[in-house]
Amino acid sequence: MSSRATGSTPSLISRRQRGQRPWTHDALVSLPARTTSPLVELARRGVLALLLVAFIVLLVYLDRNAYTDSHDGEVTLVDAIYYATVTITTTGYGDITPITPHSRILNAVLVTPLRIMFLVLLVGTTLQVLANEGRRIFLDSRWRKHMRNHVVVVGYGTKGRSAVDTLEANGCNPAQIVVIDGRGTAVSDANIRGYAAIEGDATRREVLRRAEIIKAREVIITLDRDDSAILVTLTVRQLNPSAHVVVAVREEDNASLLRQSGANAVITSSEAVGRLLGLSATSPNLGTVIEDLLSSREGLEVGERQVTRDEVGLNPGQVEGERVIAVVRNRTLRRFYDPTVAKLETGDQVVVVRHAAEQP
Please provide the average confidence, as pLDDT, over all residues in the chain.
81
Report pLDDT for 169: 78
Confidence of residue 69 (pLDDT cuts 50, 70, 90): confident
Superfamily for 148-272?
Answer: NAD(P)-binding Rossmann-like Domain (3.40.50.720)
Where are any strands of DSSP class E within 155-268?
Answer: 177-181, 196-199, 218-221, 244-249, 265-268
Average the pLDDT over each of 34-38, 67-71, 79-83, 201-205 and give the range with the smallest value: 34-38
Report pLDDT for 26: 47
Answer yes or no: CATH 3.40.50.1700 is held by domain 38-143.
no
For residue 145, with 0-12 CB atoms within 10 Å meaning exposed, 13-18 middle and 19 or more buried, which class applies? exposed
CATH fold of 299-358 reads Alpha-Beta Plaits (3.30.70)
Domains of the chain, by residue range, sit at: 38-143, 148-272, 299-358
Domains 148-272 and 299-358 share a fold: no
**Overall average pLDDT of the 50-66 stretch:** 90
What confidence tens digit (pLDDT) does each residue in 2-18 have? 444 444 444 433 444 44
Q: Is the pTM of this model over 0.75?
A: no
Nearest Cα neighbor of 218 from 151, 147, 146, 304 is 151
Nearest Cα neighbor of 266 from 197, 311, 220 is 220
Report pLDDT for 326: 92
**Overall average pLDDT of the 236-242 stretch:** 93
Helix (H, G, I), strand (E, B) or coil at 285: helix
Report pLDDT for 124: 67
Report pLDDT for 47: 86
Report pLDDT for 329: 92
Report pLDDT for 130: 66
What confidence tens digit (pLDDT) does each residue in 121-166 have? 776 666 666 666 667 777 777 777 888 899 999 999 988 998 898 8
Find out whether 267 and 246 touch, Cβ atoms under 8 Å: yes
Report pLDDT for 13: 39
For residue 296, with 0-12 CB atoms within 10 Å meaning exposed, 13-18 middle and 19 or more buried, which class applies? middle
